[in-house]
Amino acid sequence: MKAKETLIVGAGVIGLTLAYELLKRGQPVRVLEQNRSSEGATRAAAGMLATDHELIPALHQLAAASRQLYPDLVRELFNETGIDSGYKENPFRLIRADGDIRFASVGQIDPVQLTRSLRHAIKARGGVIEEQTMVTGLLRAGATVVGVATSNGKREAGNVVVASGRGSEALLATSGVEIATVPVKGECLAVRLTGHVLTETLFSDDVYLVPKFDGRIIIGATERIGDETTGVSVSGIEHLLQAAARLFPAIREAEIVDIWSGIRPQTADGLPYLGQVPGVGHLFVATGHHRHGILLAPITASVLADEVTGITPKYELRPFSLHESRRNTNATHH
């Protein structure tokens, strides 16, 4: 008998990387996306594989493991699809009032190219990506999830993984599962410089400047807590450009090539929700990554694929689980 599919709700970088990992392990996969793939927080990301100085300590172990997975992941994807994910390592300067911290080499990725290569690889391996498909509820048989209800009909599943960013909270609530995330809108822009070259990533409390392999510089990002609108404000871009010019004055001569925004899901304690939902069979969650979804995608895919296939993950996931005390803590900060 053919194994039932794992349904992944959300075709951002988390959902797609997990789909690819499960397919590599021989699992049938279907990804459901209400819009088009990777149009949410993923598209808005600059793609820095952040240093531990920017992360809360509980994320350090997962982040280190995830960084180590990236070179092999992008090499595999390139070999399978011919698409360059824009992975490169360059100098990184963390700008602080008490003195700058310099790193000789910090990785970065192009999120749009990465997700494009993932989509191609998933389809080539027999996975299915259904776009324009709104998931409206989880189907249960007693204490077990057996599929989802969508705008295009019901879908049966062997497992369901909810990885739909901010949309995860409402979807899980349809099955009585509570999580609490706050929307944080981030606005960014891309510029192009002639005559000046930025050779290192610059990161301060106010702004970051990330030089990309195609000559663009990504400048970001505002953090508008509670804002779920899709527009980009003049005040936000003005703030970013002024802060960027203080770090790298040549930015004033740059040409703006793109402006965009995305909504990132943040939890009260700053940790994503990862793993099986306690008390509900065959239901898993991967959301709340906030600013670190790109960085944590490979390790999230690895540990979730372990859980889905019945393998004990190598990492302690309790800080990231949906246990009662954590749900209550996050809810009180909502």
What does the domain layout of the chain look like in residue ranges?
Answer: 6-88+107-180+268-332, 183-266
β-sheet with 6-9: strand ranges across: 128-130, 29-32, 6-9, 159-162, 283-287, 273-276
In the prediction, which pLDDT does 222 show?
Answer: 94
Instruction: Return the half-sphere exposure (C-beta side, CA atoms, 13 A cut-off) of residue 275.
Output: 17
Q: What percent of the chain has pLDDT over 70?
A: 94
Question: Can you state the angle between helices 293-308 and 60-81, rounded to 10 degrees?
Answer: 90
In the prediction, which pLDDT does 37 show?
Answer: 60
* Residue linked to tokens 């369901």: 160
Check whether 35 has a pLDDT greater than 90: no
Residues forming a β-bridge with 149: 137, 154
pTM: 0.92
Q: Tell me whether residue 38 is exposed, middle or buried, using C-beta atoms within 10 angstroms of its C-beta: 0 to 12, 13 to 18, 19 or more.
A: buried
* 6-88+107-180+268-332 classified as CATH 3.50.50.60: yes
**Sequence-separated (6 or more) residues with CB below 8 Å from residue 295:** 48, 49, 50, 63, 66, 67
* Residue linked to tokens 């402006």: 259
Q: Is 184:264 a contact under the CB 8 Å cutoff?
A: yes
Most confident of 42-56, 193-207, 301-315: 301-315
Say which residue, 266 or 53, is predicted with more confidence: 266
Residue 146 — very low, low, confident or very high, per pLDDT cuts 50/70/90?
A: very high
In the prediction, which pLDDT does 182 show?
Answer: 92
Average pLDDT over residues 29-53: 80
Same fold: 6-88+107-180+268-332 with 183-266: no
Q: Long-range contacts of range 69-75, CB-CB < 8 Å, 24 or more positions apart?
A: 69/298, 69/299, 69/302, 70/107, 70/109, 70/298, 71/107, 73/17, 73/298, 74/109, 74/114, 74/117
In the prediction, which pLDDT does 328 show?
Answer: 52
Residue 167 main-chain phi, psi, to 5 deg: -70, -10
Residue 120 — very low, low, confident or very high, per pLDDT cuts 50/70/90?
A: very high
Residue 332 — very low, low, confident or very high, per pLDDT cuts 50/70/90?
A: very low
Which structure tokens are listed for 286?
């991967």
With the C-alpha atoms ordered 22, 24, 27, 29, is the resulting torsion angle positive or negative? positive
pLDDT digits (tens, 9 = 90+) for 245-267: 999 999 999 999 999 998 889 99
Which structure tokens are listed for 182?
């706050």
CA angle 149, 164, 308 (to 5 degrees): 80
**Fold topology of 183-266:** D-Amino Acid Oxidase; Chain A, domain 2 (3.30.9)
Q: Is 275:303 a contact under the CB 8 Å cutoff?
A: yes
With the C-alpha atoms ordered 109, 110, 115, 121, is the resulting torsion angle positive or negative? negative
How many residues make up the chain in this entry?
334
The residue among 64, 61, 79 whose CA lies nearest residue 117 is: 79
Instruction: Return the half-sphere exposure (C-beta side, CA atoms, 13 A cut-off) of residue 255.
Output: 7
Average pLDDT of the residues of the chain: 91
Cα-based distances in Å from 300 to 20, 214, 279, 289, 306 = 12, 28, 21, 10, 10
Q: Is 25:83 a contact under the CB 8 Å cutoff?
A: no
Average pLDDT over residues 224-246: 95
In the prediction, which pLDDT does 66 show?
Answer: 96
